[in-house]
Amino acid sequence: MRVLGIDPGLTRCGMGVVEGSVGRPLALVDVGVLRTSSDLEVPQRLVTIERGVEAWIEEHRPDAVAVERVFARSDVSTVMGTAQAAGVAMVVAARIGLPIAMHTPSEVKAAVSGSGRATKQQVGAMVTRILRLDATPKPADAADALALAITHIWRGGAQARIEQAAARQRAALATARRAR
């Protein structure tokens, strides 16, 4: 499975592609950061992110996209920009028909480090170890994007199977109720 992890942000949007499967070594495909200038108006910045995400998907052909779930921080303007960038990334992936998963920061930290309260440095160090890299990807947005992709490979497939099984069970129960 090849996953594009996206750590959304209006100024820096981390992008990371990881390939592999549960129980097998994972491999780095590519990592980087889409940057936009704060001198531009927000709509132009979002278009830049849209084009960047499209280019990454076109170049790397991921099987799925994992985006960090935005949570409320104290600075509303930061949350808004992050949420807008996440929305653009999800729209690009959805338009192409790619499965999209959202993972919380604590879920990602727990998946790669074993602790939902891990620091950015700890997450970066574990990403470096998991992918057998010579150095931690910089800036932290890049390492976070890789951590999202790793999390989805390790947890996303299982979660999707659980959701599919639950949906089948709900459908079977609905059918049984109608038959009564």
User: Which residues form the catalytic set?
Assistant: 7, 68, 141
On whether 30 is known to bind a ligand per the annotation, the reply is no
Cβ burial, residue 106 (10 Å; 0-12/13-18/19+): middle
On whether 68 is known to bind a ligand per the annotation, the reply is yes
Q: What is the DSSP letter of 139?
A: S
d(C-alpha 15, C-alpha 46), whole Å = 15
On whether 141 is known to bind a ligand per the annotation, the reply is yes
Q: Please choose, from the candidates 68, 58, 69, the residue with its C-alpha nearest in 3D space to the C-alpha of residue 93.
A: 58
Q: What is the DSSP letter of 70?
A: P
Cα 108 to chain centroid distance, Å, stands at 9
Q: Please choose, from the candidates 139, 144, 151, 149, the residue with its C-alpha nearest in 3D space to the C-alpha of residue 112.
A: 151
89 touches 27 (CB < 8 A): no
**H-state helical runs in 9-152:** 42-60, 76-96, 105-113, 120-130, 140-151
Residues annotated within the binding site are 7, 68, 141
Residues annotated within the binding site for Mg(2+) are 7, 68, 141
